[in-house]
Amino acid sequence: MQVAIWASHHAYSCLLRLAIINHQMIKKIILLILFLTLISSSSFVLAYFYFQKDNSPLKSTISTKKVEQKELPLLQYSIPALSKREFVAEQAIEVEKIISQNSADNSYVLLFTYLSQGKKISGALNLKLDENQSSKPVIIMLRGWAPLENYYSGMGTKNAAAIFAQNGYLTLAPDFLGYGESDSEPSDTWEARFIKVANVIDLLRTIQKFPKLDLSQLEDFPIENINIDQEKIGLWGHSNGGQIAVSTLEVLGSNLPTTLWAPVLAPFPYSILYFTDENQDEGKEARAYLSLFEKDYDVFDFSITQHLDRLQGPLQIQHGTSDDSALVTWSEEFLQKIDLENDRRRAINASQSATSSTQLREIKVDFYKYPGANHNLQPNWNQAVERDLSFFAKNLN
């Protein structure tokens, strides 16, 4: 009996000692956790204030990375970016001098200048003085590529411009930067190409805001001013000028009546690569330059075929089958893409009420193909210009 009591007492003593030991260990563990928490919190606070210092290595590294983020200056000329930009004309066109005149029919070619993107651009203005001196419809004429050597204002547009002037239109053919009496073009080849759309929009905005042209600076000129009809403005584009015209329409989402002669309507950048095989290096440098461009930019942002949802009509396209400078198949493939866009619009319209205000207009295009005609639509030039006169008479009246 005594043995049993002793054993029980001994067991109880052992359990009591273990409980005391466990309690002491728990206290130590709790103290250790509190100590580590305090150290961690202090480290965080110290680190926070340290990295706020201007000379903090980490902060310096982060700041450097932000500063070194690559700029994309050409993105401002993409079709989406230009469509969001507000173009504001600051001053009217200045008509500076008489380039030539024909006393027999009272027609003139005048040199004009206007401001675009902070630079001066010159151009040729064709005008016939007749009984209608109150207000004249305007055709903005956009030439294609032209050699800088022996260039003159009106090159690439003067013949058609003379016919339009004879039929009561006032024409404006900008030289573009680097040509005529314009300021120099951008040194970057891509920018020099893309900025032309902005230059055309600036010209449009200028004549819309300042429709009265002051002619008083011209010596012995029969009239002192003439008005532009702001509601009657059309576009004419030849070759690469056709691509510029379509880009302008897409950026503005505009329905300006537009006629295109042998236009470059191939997708970008194929539209420029096609011509590079004529270079001495067969386009090697151009392809390398393009590969650098594509590393930073999405070419779709600059391609007219990717923004047909913004295109409006009416359009007239004329192309010769023997054109080896801008292939007639480019126009035909462009028309196929317009057909697809019109199908898309019809499907959207069909899903809506017929009285809905959001009904989409189809793109109206007239296409004329001339068998055997070259890049200047010869030998069908007369027929082509007559079709233009009919087109503008229908759509600008």
pLDDT digits (tens, 9 = 90+) for 24-38: 665 565 555 555 555
Strand, helix or coil for residue 7: helix
pLDDT digits (tens, 9 = 90+) for 68-117: 678 899 999 999 999 999 999 999 999 999 999 998 899 999 999 999 99
Q: Residue 98 in contact with residue 217, Cβ under 8 Å?
A: no
What pLDDT is attached to residue 15?
39
What pLDDT is attached to residue 216?
93
What pLDDT is attached to residue 133?
67
- Which neighbouring-strand residues pair with 115? 120
Domain boundaries, the chain: 81-352+359-395
pLDDT digits (tens, 9 = 90+) for 164-202: 999 999 999 999 999 999 999 999 999 999 999 999 999
Q: Domain spanning 81-352+359-395 has what CATH number?
A: 3.40.50.1820
What pLDDT is attached to residue 278?
75
What pLDDT is attached to residue 16?
39
* Alpha-carbon gap, residue 323 to 365, rounded angstroms: 20
What pLDDT is attached to residue 3?
42
What pLDDT is attached to residue 355?
66
Q: Residue 349 in contact with residue 329, Cβ under 8 Å?
A: no
Q: Is the whole-model pTM more than 0.85?
A: no
Q: CA torsion angle for 97, 99, 103, 107 (degrees, to 10)?
A: -90
Give the dihedral sign, CA 369/373/376/377: negative
**Assigned token pair, 72:** 């994309």
Element (H, E) at 212: strand 212-214
* Alpha-carbon gap, residue 157 to 119, rounded angstroms: 22
What residue ranges of the chain have pLDDT lower than 50?
1-8, 10-12, 14-16, 18-21, 44-47, 51, 62
What pLDDT is attached to residue 207?
97
What pLDDT is attached to residue 56?
53
Question: Closest Cα to residue 330, out of 265, 237, 268?
Answer: 265
Find the radius of gyration of the CA atoms of the chain. Answer: 36
* Alpha-carbon gap, residue 322 to 262, rounded angstroms: 11
- Which neighbouring-strand residues pair with 366? 316
* Alpha-carbon gap, residue 314 to 312, rounded angstroms: 7
